[in-house]
């Protein structure tokens, strides 16, 4: 006999658990199903992605500061040693605190948790098979598919989980690799590469494209590469990895470029070439859900080609970002409750947690040029920021792009300290269809890093900043 609910959510990641909580807050009887063997919600992000990686990034930054920056502030430390086991333990505690928090929220709002492999058996019908083989059938007038994504791999670089790894294994090394080769110059590879670089690894990035961070503003991406190179990271761009083999406990990576063949000997290879939606074996196409190039096709209300079945997050078009999935989850839950909802895809921020950080929202210069949009550019260097100087963190810039005719804010790109927090002001301004003048005339506290955004906006609107 089937168990009946108002809503079945398949997937307990950021999109799924947020959708479940919001729907429950709106009075729906909700069950959220996840297949994770640890029986924890939060998906890739909380368990083996966003949260543990940021924990390690922050810990490794403390280590870097203690070794190389503290003395400049007059803080003289004795020999600084690394306790990797303690660092990993703290990372695991951070993860547990977050996943326990979701379990608490499910209990608070009455969301029924369920663990097992879910399969869509038709409109409003989901079959769940638990680890012990027990099968349960769930029925509901609405089903939200929120299975997320998994690491993509390369056919000539098979992952063995020990020598050739994904970001999941790279979050849990039991020792610092002498040499880590990162295949892929996207944000995940650069973030994980930064962790191990700070902790003492030699890090080499091999990227097929002629530049790193292909979706980032070109000028900013160039500055990031120079910064990471100065920190010790090595780059081989326009280079194709052709294979890897283990010899005597080492991995020999072979690659090709216009400059010729390349051979790298390393301890670990991190394959970081993007992510792909998790849709296989879920019975989606059999149930009538249309896929296009691996992604689920949805309409403007997130409904798939099967009535009553919705999809959000990494399964559908758009950036594969946790906060994008969360907003879509809230939107679907509110639509199911008869409330108006929206997601503004023109105002979704992205952050890259290297150091200095990178944060952006809106269009890049390359996109505006390709679209033939006339725009103004305003820039302000952190080297001219009093607060950044006081912090000894004066590397980077803020770039503001505004419409040449209307002054409407089109994009903001920040490379600098705490860019991840600074971008919120730009996102808010764009959400309310604001202008460069709006930011320029906001009173920013002095001395703060946020003043740099105000100065860049002045440069875009007035033509010149005040302090540069």
Q: Which residues are catalytic?
A: 446
Residue 177 CA: distances (Å) to CA of 85, 157, 264: 14, 19, 14
The Cα 150–Cα 41 span in angstroms is 16
Q: What are the two backbone dihedrals, phi and then psi, of residue 300, each rounded to the nearest 5 degrees?
A: -70, -15
Of 389, 397, 368, 395, nearest in space to 465 by CA:
397
Could you tell me how far CA 16 lies from the centroid of its own chain? 16
Using DSSP bridges, classify how beta strands 260-266 and 234-236 pair: parallel, antiparallel or unpaired.
Answer: unpaired
At residue 236's C-alpha, the angle toward residues 230 and 239, to 5°, is 165
* Backbone angle region of 362, left / alpha / beta, with phi > 0 → left and psi within -120 to 50 → alpha: left
Of 43, 220, 1, 17, nearest in space to 108 by CA:
17
Task: Find out whether 36 and 12 touch, Cβ atoms under 8 Å.
Answer: yes
- Does residue 83 sit in helix, strand or coil? coil
Q: Is the dihedral of CA 384, 385, 391, 395 positive or negative?
A: negative
The Cα 314–Cα 309 span in angstroms is 16
The DSSP line for 270-309 is EE-S-EEE--TTS-HHHHT--EETTEEP--TTSB-SSTTE
Structure tokens at 142: 């609405």
- What letters, b where the CB count within 10 A reaches 16 and e where it falls short, cover 319-356? ebbbbbbbbbbbbbbbbbbeeebebeeebbbbbbbbbb
* Backbone angle region of 206, left / alpha / beta, with phi > 0 → left and psi within -120 to 50 → alpha: beta
The Cα 268–Cα 387 span in angstroms is 39
The DSSP line for 131-161 is TTS-EEEEE-SEEEE---EEE--BTTB---S
Task: Find out whether 341 and 400 touch, Cβ atoms under 8 Å.
Answer: no
């Amino acid at each position: 006999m089937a168990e009946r609910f108002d809503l079945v959510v398949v997937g307990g990641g950021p999109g799924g658990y947020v959708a479940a909580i919001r729907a429950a807050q709106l009075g729906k009887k909700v069950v959220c199903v996840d297949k994770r063997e640890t029986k924890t919600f939060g998906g890739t992000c909380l368990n083996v992605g966003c949260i543990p990686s940021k924990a390690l990034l922050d810990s490794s930054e403390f280590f870097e500061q203690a070794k190389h920056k503290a003395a400049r502030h007059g803080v003289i430390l004795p020999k600084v040693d690394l306790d990797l086991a303690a660092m990993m333990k703290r990372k695991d505690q951070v993860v547990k605190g977050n996943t326990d928090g979701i379990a608490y929220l499910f209990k608070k709002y009455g969301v029924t948790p369920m663990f097992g492999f879910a399969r869509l058996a038709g409109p409003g019908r989901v079959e769940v098979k638990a680890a012990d083989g027990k099968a349960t059938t769930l029925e509901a007038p609405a089903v939200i598919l929120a299975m997320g994504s998994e690491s993509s791999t390369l056919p000539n670089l098979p992952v063995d989980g020990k020598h050739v790894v994904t970001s999941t294994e790279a979050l849990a090394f039991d020792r610092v690799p002498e040499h880590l080769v990162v295949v892929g110059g996207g944000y995940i590879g650069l973030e994980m590469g930064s962790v191990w670089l700070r902790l003492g690894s030699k890090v080499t990035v091999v990227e097929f494209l002629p530049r790193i961070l292909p979706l980032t503003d070109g000028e900013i991406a160039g500055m990031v590469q120079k910064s990471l190179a100065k920190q010790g990271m090595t780059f081989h761009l326009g280079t194709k990895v052709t294979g890897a083999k283990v010899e005597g406990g080492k991995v020999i990576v072979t690659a090709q470029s216009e400059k010729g063949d390349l051979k790298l000997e390393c301890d670990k290879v991190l394959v970081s070439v993007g992510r792909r939606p998790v849709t296989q074996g879920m019975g989606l196409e059999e149930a009538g859900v249309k896929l296009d190039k691996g992604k689920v096709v949805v309409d403007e209300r997130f409904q798939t080609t099967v009535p009553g079945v919705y999809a959000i997050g990494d399964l559908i078009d758009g950036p594969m970002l946790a906060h994008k999935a969360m907003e879509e989850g809230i939107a679907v839950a509110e639509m199911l409750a008869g409330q108006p909802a929206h997601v503004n895809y023109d105002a979704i921020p992205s952050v890259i947690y290297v150091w200095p950080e990178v944060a952006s929202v809106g269009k890049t210069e390359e996109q505006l040029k390709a679209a033939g949009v006339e725009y103004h550019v305003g820039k302000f260097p952190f080297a001219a920021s009093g607060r950044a100087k006081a912090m000894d963190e004066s590397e980077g810039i803020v770039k503001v792009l505004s419409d040449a005719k209307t002054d409407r804010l089109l994009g903001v790109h920040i490379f600098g300290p705490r860019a991840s927090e600074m971008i919120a002001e730009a996102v808010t301004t764009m959400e309310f269809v604001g202008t460069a003048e709006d930011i320029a005339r906001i009173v920013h506290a002095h001395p703060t890093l946020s003043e740099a955004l105000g100065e860049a906006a002045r440069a875009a609107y007035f033509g010149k900043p005040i302090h540069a």
